[in-house]
Amino acid sequence: MSCHSRSPLTPPTAPDWGLALGISTSDFAARAFTRDPSSLKSIRCFVRNTAVAWGIGAVAEDLTLVVNELTTNAVRHALRSSTQREAKAWLGIARTAGTVLCAVSDPSPAPPLPHPPRGMAVAGRGLLVVDALTSQWGYAEAAPGKTVWARLNAHAH
């Protein structure tokens, strides 16, 4: 995967200021995304670059996969059905002692429900992947919508 080479800790240049493209500190990073597929590619790069900058590159692949599943679900089930053309969802990731927490907030109040995959279906395994790669995950109602979160073990190397 080719990711933007700018460190997530480097301040963006105008007109990239603000949460719309991402902010981060030594232990927290956030980024908005839309239903545009290029937005999800940007999220994956943001997560990977942030993990490396935080010294937890060993879990960058798992973290990126978990975030990809959560953000893809937000696009499929919340943003595409939104009546607002420019509807946004948000990703936040936080590093704590030995763990990293990712949270995705979207405008849909519908809870995330894992479903058993059907035969050779290509889709429908996202939350099963999240469950397999994380130590814990869940969701909380938020106004408007919900926040789906997941925790991964992330010891710095």
Nearest to 35 by CA among 103, 87, 104: 87
Residue 12 has pLDDT above 80, yes or no: no
More confident residue, 87 or 109: 109
Q: What six digits make up the tokens of 14?
A: 């105008």
**pTM assigned to the model:** 0.80
Which of 77-81, 105-109, 152-156 is modeled with the greatest confidence? Answer: 105-109
**What is the rounded CA–CA span in Å between residue 62 and residue 130?**
9
Q: pLDDT per residue over 111-139, tens digit each?
A: 988 777 776 655 667 888 999 999 999 99
State residue 124's pLDDT score.
Answer: 63
80 or 11, which is more confident: 80
In the predicted model, is pLDDT for residue 155 greater than 60?
A: yes
| Residue 149 pLDDT greater than 70, yes or no | yes
